Structure formats: structure tokens, C-alpha cells
């Protein structure tokens, strides 16, 4: 059986994701689609709208055959580390190809960009340091360094100001770094940009636009035309059971407590806390009525919104620098769910996989997995706080089988 892999968050699964799944399978002539999906906390440092189990069901009922969890240490990391963890897992699952959506839509510019940066890596890193030293944010410094580097050759390169192009480049760079045989392919995103609001004349919308609509109108019906029916059903189910969807404002009392209970020295131990930001966190958290106000107070030119959210995610989950940076690559495959087709694929390949497949966490003692479990427990605690209802944790929830 032939497999194509995809890297996803599905926050939530929408019509654009469905197009990506179906086209990836069609173009590669694959028998199965394997999705590496972020768990309860996402790459931009946010808690997911609904639980990973709800999101996995959305995917499995809309064309994905296997869903595995991207470990927390990768799902909450910057783009290069996020990509390395995800592509490593897709290769470990013996996928023949990986497919990503992009604003570019053509593969050649991605290959040219990866070769350019690899060939001039020392110069590239020196340029990044130069821009960072002027107070420019790290992501913006990367962009400026790349734009300067592009002038060396008259080639067709990608636009690295676009979020999906950025991730696509890092997926290809990750495959090159680990010398993997898995082959890349890209599919152009349809209509909606990454941050675009909902356009009522289309049935394609970004996950960002969909979440914004849900939180503003507090009504899932408002986004029904932009998601498959399975997504709509699971969103309605979540709202009926837990009363509201998850964002940082929903978790604000717990996050506020997590920050206020520490002194500056203690806060410095948490991952991504640096350069004295701990003093600003303590100063402003006491007087902020909600998460949005807190973020507005601590944001600066040096600290992007995403960088701050990742930092706060690690404080919330209690993940220290030492814990986060001790791993070189994923050490297991955490199975969240599969269809019958996916089960047939795993049965065929299981004996030859180099990483263990974990379906029940009680049987595993892996350190990276323990971090995942802690993150899931903190997410569940936040949901319980605002809803007074419990989510079944990782120890009680078996993989989904369709």
C-alpha cells in the first residue's frame, strides 16, 4: 500500500483541508493518507479550539486514514523544529511522499530556496544575527536575511513572507537535513489566505477566519458552509457538552495563577522565557482582566505575539528549557485514530517500523510522551474549570477506530 503524509492542526478541519486531503491522495495515487496532527497546544502557542480527539474524528470522517499526534515539544516549536518533528514521523511511518498546502503552489521554487539557504548557510546565519542585533524580531530577521541572499542568483524562489510557504520550505529543509527518501509535493491554497476573515461568497475559509467567526457569533451555524458535515457535528457536540470553545481567554484564570505563583528566577527556568521578559510578565499579569489585555501590555517589537504565546504555553504546562530541548527527534508514534484502510496499512508495515507505535499510554514510559500527557492534562483542567465537565484523559482514551 502506498501512503502520502500531511502535517496538520485541523483547528478545525474545514473545506480547504478536505480539498488538500483529496488532492494529495489523487495526485500521488496513494492508498492511504497519514496525518501528523498537533495535540492540545499548537504551533502558534494556542490551545486548540476543541480536543485532539474531536479533531482526529473530524479528519478520519473526511478522508484521512491514520492520525498520529505530533509530540508537544514539536507542536509548540518554531517552524524549523515543528517541521523536523513532523517530517521525521511521516518518514518513520514509511510514507512515500508528503504533501503541503502553499501560497506558491509549485515545488521548484521551494527546492531552489532550500538549496540557496543550504549553500550559503554561514552567510545566512550571519545576516540573521545582524538584523536581530538591531532589535528586529527573529522572524522578521529571517525574512530580511533571505531577501538579501536571493540577490545572489537569478532563480525562481518562494515568497517567505507567506505563512504556508514558510512551513513548506521548512518541511523540505527537514527532509534534506535528515537525508530522508520521502518525496515532497505542494498544492496551492484555494481562495482564503492564512489570516483572512470569512467571505460569504465562498465555501473556503481559513481556520483563523472560522475561529474568529465562532468566537464573535458564539454560534457554530455561522460557519456551517465552510466545513464538512462531520466537523459541524463535532463542533455542535462540543458546544453542547462544554458550553464554549477553547482559547486563551477561557484558560486565563489558570494561566494567571501559573504566572503569579512564581518569582522571576523561577519563571526563567521555563522554555522560551528570556531577556528579562519574566519581569514584564509579573508586572502586568496582576492588573490584566483577560488574556487579550495581558498580551497587549507585554507585546513589544522584540517579542512577537506568537513567541509570547509559546512562552506562556510552556509556563501554563510547566515545561522547562531542560525538558523541551533534550530530544533530537521523535521517539515514538502516538496513534490517535485510524480507518479500516489505515489499520490495514499499519498491519502491513508494523513489523518494519523503526519507532514503536503507542496506542495505550499506560504501557509506555517514554519521557517525551510524559510531556504530551502533562500538556493534555493541563488542557483538560482548563476545560473542566470553565465547563464543570471532565474530558477523558490519555490513560482512558483508546485510539479511534472507524
Q: How many CB atoms lie within 10 A of CB 71?
A: 27
C-alpha–C-alpha distance, residues 261 and 243, integer Å: 29
| Residues in binding site | 7-20, 101, 164, 189
Q: How many CB atoms lie within 10 A of CB 288?
A: 17
pLDDT digits (tens, 9 = 90+) for 253-296: 999 999 999 999 999 999 999 989 999 999 999 999 999 999 99
Please give the biggest Cα pair distance in the chain: 60
Q: CB count, 10 Å around CB of 402?
A: 14
Specify the range with the lowest mean pLDDT, choosing from 34-43, 119-128, 190-199, 314-323: 190-199
> Over the stretch 95-135, which tens digit does the pLDDT of each residue have?
999 999 999 999 999 999 999 999 999 999 999 999 988 88
Omega prior to 137 cis, within 30 of 0: no
Mean of per-residue pLDDT scores for the chain = 93
Interval 352-357 mean pLDDT: 94
List residues forming the annotated binding site for ATP: 7-20, 101, 164, 189
Residue 41 backbone phi and psi in degrees, to 5: -125, 140
Angle at 19 between CA 18 and CA 24, to 5 degrees: 105
- The confidence band for 362, taking pLDDT boundaries of 50, 70 and 90, is confident
pLDDT at residue 189, rounded to an integer: 84
Closest CA to 39 of 386, 301, 391, 327: 391
Contact 255, 248 (CB under 8 A): yes
**DSSP per position, 167-223:** HHHHHHHHHHHTT--PEEEEEEPPS--TTPPP-TT-S---HHHHHHHHHHH--GGGG
Nearby residues of 351 by Cβ (< 8 Å), 6 or more positions away: none
Looking at 317-397, which runs of residues are DSSP E strands? 333-338, 357-358
The pLDDT of residue 360 is above 60: yes
The helix (run of H) or strand (run of E) holding residue 73 is: helix 72-75
Higher per-residue confidence, 155 vs 329: 329
Using a cut of 0.85, tell me whether the model's pTM lies above it: yes
Angle between helices 248-260 and 277-285 (to 10 degrees): 110
Which cell is 371 given?
510531556
pLDDT at 49 over 80: yes
Instruction: List the one residue out of 25, 167, 205 whose CA is nearest residue 84.
Output: 167
The rounded distance, in Å, linking the Cα atoms of 22 and 25 is: 5
Could you tell me where in the chain the CATH 3.40.50 domains are found? 3-103+186-246+328-401
Percent of all residues in the chain with a pLDDT value above 70, rounded to a whole number = 97
pLDDT of residue 250: 95
- E strand or H helix at 8: strand 3-8
Amino acid 195: pLDDT = 54
Read out DSSP for 240-283? HHHSS---HHHHHHHHHHHHHTS-HHHHTTBTT--TTHHHHHHH
- What whole-number distance in Å separates Cα of residue 93 and Cα of residue 13? 22
Distance CA 208, CA 196 (A): 7
Quick one: CATH architecture of 3-103+186-246+328-401?
3-Layer(aba) Sandwich (3.40)
Which pLDDT value is given to residue 198? 62
Identify the pLDDT of residue 155.
83
pLDDT value for 129? 93
- CA gap 47, 55 in Å, rounded: 13
Amino acid at each position: 500500500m502506498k501512503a502520502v503524509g500531511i502535517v496538520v492542526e485541523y483547528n478545525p478541519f474545514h473545506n480547504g483541508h478536505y480539498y488538500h486531503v483529496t488532492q494529495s491522495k489523487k495526485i500521488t495515487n496513494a492508498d492511504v493518507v497519514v496525518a501528523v496532527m498537533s495535540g492540545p497546544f499548537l504551533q502558534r502557542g494556542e490551545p486548540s479550539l476543541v480536543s485532539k480527539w474531536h479533531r482526529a474524528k473530524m479528519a478520519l470522517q473526511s478522508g484521512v486514514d491514520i492520525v498520529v499526534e505530533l509530540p508537544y515539544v514539536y507542536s509548540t516549536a518554531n517552524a524549523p523544529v515543528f517541521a523536523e518533528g513532523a517530517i521525521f514521523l511521516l518518514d518513520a511511518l514509511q510514507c512515500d511522499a508528503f504533501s503541503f498546502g502553499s501560497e506558491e503552489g509549485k515545488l521548484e521554487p521551494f527546492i531552489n530556496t532550500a538549496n540557496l539557504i543550504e549553500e550559503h548557510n554561514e552567510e545566512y546565519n550571519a545576516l540573521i544575527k545582524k538584523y536581530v542585533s538591531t532589535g528586529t524580531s527573529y522572524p522578521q530577521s529571517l525574512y530580511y536575511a533571505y531577501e538579501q541572499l536571493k540577490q545572489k542568483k537569478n532563480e525562481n524562489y518562494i515568497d517567505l513572507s507567506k505563512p504556508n510557504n514558510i512551513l513548506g520550505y521548512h518541511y523540505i529543509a527537514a527532509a534534506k537535513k535528515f537525508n530522508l527518501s520521502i518525496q515532497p509535493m505542494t498544492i496551492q491554497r484555494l481562495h482564503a489566505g492564512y489570516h483572512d476573515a470569512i467571505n460569504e461568497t465562498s465555501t473556503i475559509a481559513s481556520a483563523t477566519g472560522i475561529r474568529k467567526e465562532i468566537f464573535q457569533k458564539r454560534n457554530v451555524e455561522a460557519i456551517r458552509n465552510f466545513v464538512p458535515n462531520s466537523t459541524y457535528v463535532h463542533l455542535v457536540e462540543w458546544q453542547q457538552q462544554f458550553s464554549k470553545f477553547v482559547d486563551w481567554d477561557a484558560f486565563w484564570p489558570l494561566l494567571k495563577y501559573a504566572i503569579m505563583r512564581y518569582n522571576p528566577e523561577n519563571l526563567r527556568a521555563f522554555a522560551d522565557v528570556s531577556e528579562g521578559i519574566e519581569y514584564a510578565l509579573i508586572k502586568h499579569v496582576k492588573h490584566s482582566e483577560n488574556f487579550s489585555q495581558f498580551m497587549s501590555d507585554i507585546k513589544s517589537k522584540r517579542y512577537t505575539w506568537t513567541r509570547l504565546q509559546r512562552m506562556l504555553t510552556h509556563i501554563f504546562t510547566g515545561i522547562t528549557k531542560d525538558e523541551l530541548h533534550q530530544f533530537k527527534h521523535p521517539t515514538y508514534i502516538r496513534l490517535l485514530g485510524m480507518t479500516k484502510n489505515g489499520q490495514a496499512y499499519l498491519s502491513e508495515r508494523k513489523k518494519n517500523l523503526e519507532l514503536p507505535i503507542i496506542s495505550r499510554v499506560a504501557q509506555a514510559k517514554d519521557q517525551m510522551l510524559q510531556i504530551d500527557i502533562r500538556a493534555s492534562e493541563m488542557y483538560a483542567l482548563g476545560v473542566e474549570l470553565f465547563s464543570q465537565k471532565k474530558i477523558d484523559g490519555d490513560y482512558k482514551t483508546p485510539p479511534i477506530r472507524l
